[in-house]
Each structure stands twice: as C-alpha cells, then as structure tokens.
C-alpha cells in the first residue's frame, strides 16, 4: 500500500489532492459457519460475528494478503461496487504528508536515522498481536 501511495503522491499528486485515490479494503477474517460465510475487517468486527454465532460451530481463516483470497471472495468483498469498502485517500496536512513519505521511503543517509526514529516512536500505534 505504501509504495503505491508514494508513487501516486510523487507522480500524480493532484489525484490525491482532489480525493480521487481510494484504497479497497479486504477482510482480515473469513468466518464460516455451516453454509454461511461472514467477513470481518478488524478484531472488533470479528468479535461481533463470534458473539452472534455464540455456541455454533465455526471456522476462522485469517487472510494475510490479497494473494491468499479466492476470486469469488475477492469479488464479493473487494471488487463488487455493492459490497466493497473503499477508503478515500485525502492528506490532512500536505507538508506533513510529504515529510512522512520522504522519511519512510527516501534514500538519503539522513533518512535512515529519521526512519528508525519514526518507526520506533509510531510503531506502537500499528502493532497488532494477531500479526505475529
């Protein structure tokens, strides 16, 4: 995701400024209960589905990326205009966004120290024990 956003930001910044870039979300979990399939995009959604199923027997499959998903699931959850979830990419502060992309993906020697500092300071906001 970060590499594509960087490409758009550097080569086509107007698309981002005008709100014409979207990220299609794919679910993290596929929960199967008999013939019913439920999709959850995060831990709270997974919890709600499991609460709803309560005592029923179910299986949970965690998706690590789009490459793991079957074509039918991709259509149903990520591509179908009726059911997909899109996140509009709109930078709140253009100068700050540029700095962040430069720190994370730049190649100057100064960027390495800034990148390490940024990751160590911000990683706690993105850490998810389920990713281990």
What structural domains and CATH numbers belong to the chain? 1-21+91-132 (no CATH), 22-88 (3.30.1490.440)
pLDDT value of residue 43: 93
Say whether pLDDT at 6 is over 90. no
Structure tokens at 48: 């709600």
Confidence of residue 129 (pLDDT cuts 50, 70, 90): low
What is the DSSP pairing of strand 22-25 with strand 85-88?
Answer: antiparallel
pLDDT value of residue 17: 87
Say whether pLDDT at 23 is over 80. yes
> Is the pTM above the cut of 0.75?
no
Mean pLDDT of the chain: 83
Measured CA to CA, the distance from residue 19 to residue 113 in angstroms comes to 32
pLDDT value of residue 46: 95
Say whether pLDDT at 97 is over 90. no
3-state secondary structure of 82: coil
């Amino acid at each position: 995701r970060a590499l594509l956003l960087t490409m758009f930001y550097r080569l086509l910044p107007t698309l981002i400024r005008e709100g014409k870039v979207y990220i299609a979300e794919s679910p993290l979990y596929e929960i199967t209960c008999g013939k019913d399939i439920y999709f959850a995009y995060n831990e709270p959604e997974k919890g709600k589905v499991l609460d709803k199923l309560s005592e029923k027997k179910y299986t949970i499959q965690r998706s690590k990326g789009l490459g793991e998903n079957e074509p039918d699931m991709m259509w149903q959850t990520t591509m179908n205009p009726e059911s997909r979830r899109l996140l509009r990419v709109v930078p709140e502060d253009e100068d700050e966004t540029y700095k962040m992309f430069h720190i994370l993906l730049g190649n100057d020697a100064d960027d390495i120290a800034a990148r390490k500092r940024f990751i160590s300071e911000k990683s706690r906001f993105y850490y998810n024990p389920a990713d281990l």
